[in-house]
Structure 1
Amino acid sequence: MSSSIIHSTAPATRLVLLRHGQTDWNVAGRFQGQLDVGLNDVGRAQAEAAATAVQALAPDVVYSSNLSRALDTARLVTRTTGLEVNADERLQEINVGTWGGLTGTEMADREPGFAAALRNGTDFRRSPQGETADEVGTRMRLALTEIVGRHEGSTILVVSHGLAIRMACGYLLGWDFAHTWQLGPMGNCGWSVLVRTAERPWRLEAYNRVADVG
């Protein structure tokens, strides 16, 4: 009796995860978290530079964090495509609670345990009111899984935030915090690409690609 291998003809599902452009608080090294800090001129130029590369990936649908630095990046990147940007608060950055607006130097003085945790690759709650990176990874994985469920076989552009995207990549790949933290930070308007097919789980196709602003 002969046997044959049946190959699925279902199209791949692709997630393009794009970080927002630069803000003045990024330049100053201030914790933004879920505070609504807007893009600066460099950030808008970064979004315009990323547009060509991201549009070449032919997104079918666009989702974004509802914070203005992400929403404005999404609108700049897709303004010539006619695609609607769907805002989703689940795609926000890590909640840093009362740390919002503080610089890294101020945090090192106030919370020496946090600086040590970053050096050692240990998770740490961002103020008593904030989140851990693990909680962000779980939040992002659940949100993206639900979004993907609506758009199987499509290319989905998601505009979010640096730590949120970093954790989302690892957690969709099935990694734990320790392994995910080994990924480097995302640059402003850097993008990562994950692909899934019927035969294969999520795989990381690109990480932290950044367009030349010129």
Structure 2
Amino acid sequence: MSKRIVCLRHGQTLWNVEKRFQGHSDIPLDETGLAQAARAASLLASLRPTMIVSSDLQRANDTALALGRLIGLDVTVDKDFRERGGGQWEGLTRDEIATRWPEEYAAWEAPDGEPVTDVATRVSAAMRRWAAKLDDEGLLVVASHGAALRLGICEILGLPEELWPALGGLGNCSWSVLQEGRKGWRLLEHNAGTLPEPVSSDDKPEA
């Protein structure tokens, strides 16, 4: 075995249900999200994680804490695992965004928002930084956000930006698994944990 990273998206929030762009807004898990976090924790516990790190936003941190409490591991917070900043879009629904900013919506580039390349760089760098602290057979769980994780995964796999749309989004409390090999990181699983269903996320609509 070698080092692995489980990329766990947070549980459902009210803004997910309402299809609002959350970004850096600190929105809590709703009742369904808390149940999702408990279920994910019960499944991921069997992998015997050795380290848990989360975004500083409570929806991700509370998802991580559900696992940490179950297996007796502390959760470390790293703001580099935050969601993509949404600028003027935060708190707005997709319909509102499409109406007010049709061109920006088509490109999925929020006014005053964070560029996707910046998100990919900071999240993948944080993944590498924390993975470097693992023992050779360690398993890191990163509790983060839909767009942040997908972009970070694309970057750590070395995919060129034009191929990033080929990787679909992550559902609430679903996860992807990365494994370090001799030639870098590879994707073992993607969007695991539930049967495929529509994804409500700050990620691109097609993701």
Calculate the TM-score normalised by the size of structure 2.
Answer: 0.90
CA displacement, residues 132-151 of structure 1 (integer Å, 9 cap, x when unaligned): 11210011111111111122
Question: 1:34: which partner in 2?
Answer: 24
Distance in 1 between residues matched to 2:62 and 2:15, nearest whole Å: 16
Amino acid in the other structure paired with 2:61? L
Amino acid in the other structure paired with 1:127? P
Select which of 46, 52, 70 maps to 1:80: 70
Select which of 109, 128, 133 maps to 1:125: 109
Size of the aligned set, in residue pairs, is 194
Question: 2:94: which partner in 1?
Answer: 104
Question: 1:135: which partner in 2?
Answer: 118
1:185 aligned onto 2:169? yes
Provide runs of 4+ in structure 1 moved above 6 Å: none
CA displacement, residues 153-177 of structure 1 (integer Å, 9 cap, x when unaligned): 2100000000011011111000122
Select which of 136, 150, 159 maps to 1:175: 159
Distance in 1 between residues matched to 2:101 and 2:178, nearest whole Å: 35
For structure 1, list consecutive stretches of 5 or more residues without a partner in the other structure.
1-10, 118-123
Distance in 1 between residues matched to 2:88 and 2:104, nearest whole Å: 14
For structure 2, list consecutive stretches of 5 or more residues without a partner in the other structure.
196-207
Structure number with greater Rg is: 1
Q: Could you say what secondary structure the match of 1:79 adopts?
A: helix
Distance in 2 between residues matched to 1:77 and 1:147, nearest whole Å: 18
Amino acid in the other structure paired with 2:116? A
Distance in 2 between residues matched to 1:187 and 1:77, nearest whole Å: 18
Distance in 1 between residues matched to 2:86 and 2:110, nearest whole Å: 5
